[in-house]
Amino acid sequence: MKFAIALFSAPHAPSSRRALRFAEAVLAGGHEIVRVFFYQDGVYSAASTPVTPQDEWDTAAAWSALVRDHQLDGVVCIAAALRRGVLNDEEAQRYERDAASLAKPWELSGLGQLHEATQLADRLVCFGGP
Protein backbone atom coordinates (compact mmCIF):
# COMPACT_ATOMS: atom_id res chain seq x y z
CA MET A 1 0.00 0.00 0.00
CA LYS A 2 1.16 3.55 -0.74
CA PHE A 3 0.83 6.21 1.94
CA ALA A 4 1.12 9.98 1.97
CA ILE A 5 1.69 11.52 5.40
CA ALA A 6 0.82 15.09 6.33
CA LEU A 7 2.02 16.58 9.61
CA PHE A 8 0.43 19.77 10.93
CA SER A 9 1.94 20.00 14.43
CA ALA A 10 5.26 21.14 15.88
CA PRO A 11 8.02 18.62 16.64
CA HIS A 12 7.44 18.75 20.40
CA ALA A 13 3.75 17.83 20.01
CA PRO A 14 2.74 14.22 20.70
CA SER A 15 1.18 13.93 17.24
CA SER A 16 4.57 14.54 15.61
CA ARG A 17 6.07 11.57 17.39
CA ARG A 18 2.99 9.46 16.60
CA ALA A 19 3.33 10.38 12.93
CA LEU A 20 6.98 9.40 12.98
CA ARG A 21 6.19 6.04 14.59
CA PHE A 22 3.44 5.48 12.03
CA ALA A 23 5.88 6.20 9.19
CA GLU A 24 8.41 3.78 10.65
CA ALA A 25 5.72 1.09 10.96
CA VAL A 26 4.58 1.66 7.37
CA LEU A 27 8.12 1.15 6.09
CA ALA A 28 8.77 -1.82 8.38
CA GLY A 29 5.59 -3.42 7.05
CA GLY A 30 6.91 -3.27 3.50
CA HIS A 31 4.63 -0.44 2.40
CA GLU A 32 5.63 2.72 0.55
CA ILE A 33 5.53 6.37 1.59
CA VAL A 34 5.09 8.50 -1.52
CA ARG A 35 5.57 11.80 0.31
CA VAL A 36 5.87 13.32 3.76
CA PHE A 37 4.36 16.80 3.74
CA PHE A 38 4.83 19.29 6.59
CA TYR A 39 2.26 22.06 6.88
CA GLN A 40 1.30 24.70 9.46
CA ASP A 41 3.44 24.23 12.62
CA GLY A 42 4.72 20.95 11.19
CA VAL A 43 7.26 23.00 9.22
CA TYR A 44 9.22 23.53 12.45
CA SER A 45 10.30 19.89 12.19
CA ALA A 46 12.30 20.87 9.10
CA ALA A 47 14.10 23.80 10.74
CA SER A 48 17.81 23.51 11.45
CA THR A 49 17.90 26.17 14.17
CA PRO A 50 15.96 24.77 17.18
CA VAL A 51 17.99 23.02 19.84
CA THR A 52 16.31 20.17 21.69
CA PRO A 53 17.19 19.93 25.39
CA GLN A 54 19.54 17.06 26.20
CA ASP A 55 16.93 15.25 28.28
CA GLU A 56 14.31 15.28 25.49
CA TRP A 57 13.98 13.18 22.37
CA ASP A 58 14.77 15.15 19.17
CA THR A 59 11.75 14.44 16.97
CA ALA A 60 12.87 16.82 14.24
CA ALA A 61 16.24 15.09 13.91
CA ALA A 62 14.49 11.72 13.80
CA TRP A 63 12.24 12.96 10.97
CA SER A 64 15.26 14.17 9.00
CA ALA A 65 17.04 10.86 9.52
CA LEU A 66 13.97 8.88 8.41
CA VAL A 67 13.58 10.94 5.24
CA ARG A 68 17.30 10.76 4.47
CA ASP A 69 17.81 7.08 5.33
CA HIS A 70 14.78 5.89 3.35
CA GLN A 71 15.21 8.44 0.55
CA LEU A 72 11.67 9.70 1.05
CA ASP A 73 10.18 12.73 -0.63
CA GLY A 74 10.16 15.22 2.26
CA VAL A 75 8.28 18.40 1.38
CA VAL A 76 7.67 21.51 3.48
CA CYS A 77 4.90 23.94 2.54
CA ILE A 78 6.67 27.08 1.38
CA ALA A 79 3.95 29.50 2.52
CA ALA A 80 3.79 28.00 6.02
CA ALA A 81 7.59 27.87 6.18
CA LEU A 82 8.08 31.51 5.15
CA ARG A 83 5.50 32.61 7.70
CA ARG A 84 7.49 30.80 10.40
CA GLY A 85 11.00 31.78 9.27
CA VAL A 86 12.00 28.40 7.85
CA LEU A 87 13.90 29.39 4.70
CA ASN A 88 16.15 27.63 2.22
CA ASP A 89 19.13 29.47 0.69
CA GLU A 90 17.11 30.85 -2.22
CA GLU A 91 14.32 32.25 -0.04
CA ALA A 92 16.79 33.70 2.46
CA GLN A 93 18.40 35.62 -0.39
CA ARG A 94 15.07 36.66 -1.90
CA TYR A 95 13.83 38.09 1.40
CA GLU A 96 17.25 39.44 2.41
CA ARG A 97 17.61 37.33 5.53
CA ASP A 98 21.00 36.58 7.06
CA ALA A 99 20.78 32.80 6.91
CA ALA A 100 18.80 29.81 5.71
CA SER A 101 17.19 27.61 8.33
CA LEU A 102 15.78 24.68 6.36
CA ALA A 103 17.44 21.43 7.38
CA LYS A 104 18.54 18.81 4.91
CA PRO A 105 17.01 16.74 3.30
CA TRP A 106 13.79 18.80 3.20
CA GLU A 107 12.53 20.71 0.16
CA LEU A 108 10.27 23.75 0.05
CA SER A 109 7.29 23.52 -2.28
CA GLY A 110 3.63 24.44 -2.55
CA LEU A 111 0.38 22.83 -1.49
CA GLY A 112 0.15 21.30 -4.95
CA GLN A 113 2.66 18.73 -3.69
CA LEU A 114 0.16 17.62 -1.03
CA HIS A 115 -2.56 17.37 -3.65
CA GLU A 116 -0.29 15.34 -5.92
CA ALA A 117 0.63 13.04 -3.02
CA THR A 118 -3.06 12.29 -2.45
CA GLN A 119 -3.33 11.29 -6.10
CA LEU A 120 -0.27 9.03 -5.96
CA ALA A 121 -1.09 7.35 -2.64
CA ASP A 122 -3.74 4.86 -1.65
CA ARG A 123 -4.16 6.64 1.70
CA LEU A 124 -3.45 10.11 3.07
CA VAL A 125 -2.89 10.02 6.80
CA CYS A 126 -2.85 13.36 8.64
CA PHE A 127 -1.46 14.09 12.10
CA GLY A 128 -2.04 17.16 14.27
CA GLY A 129 -3.85 20.26 13.20
CA PRO A 130 -6.46 22.61 14.54
Q: Which among 7, 33, 72, 77 is annotated as catalytic?
A: 77
Go through 20-53 and write b for each residue having 16 or more CB atoms within 10 A of its CB, e for each that does not: bebbeebbeeeeebbbbbbbbbbbbbbbeeeeee
The ranges assigned to domains in the chain are: 2-127
Whether 126 is a known active-site residue: answer no
Which parts of the chain fold into alpha helices (H)?
14-28, 59-69, 78-83, 89-94, 112-120
User: The domain 2-127: what is its CATH number?
Assistant: 3.40.1260.10
**Global pTM value:** 0.93
Q: What is the pLDDT of residues 6-48, one digit of tens each?
A: 999 999 999 999 999 999 999 999 999 999 999 999 999 999 9
**Vertex 109, ends 106 and 66: CA angle to 5°?**
25
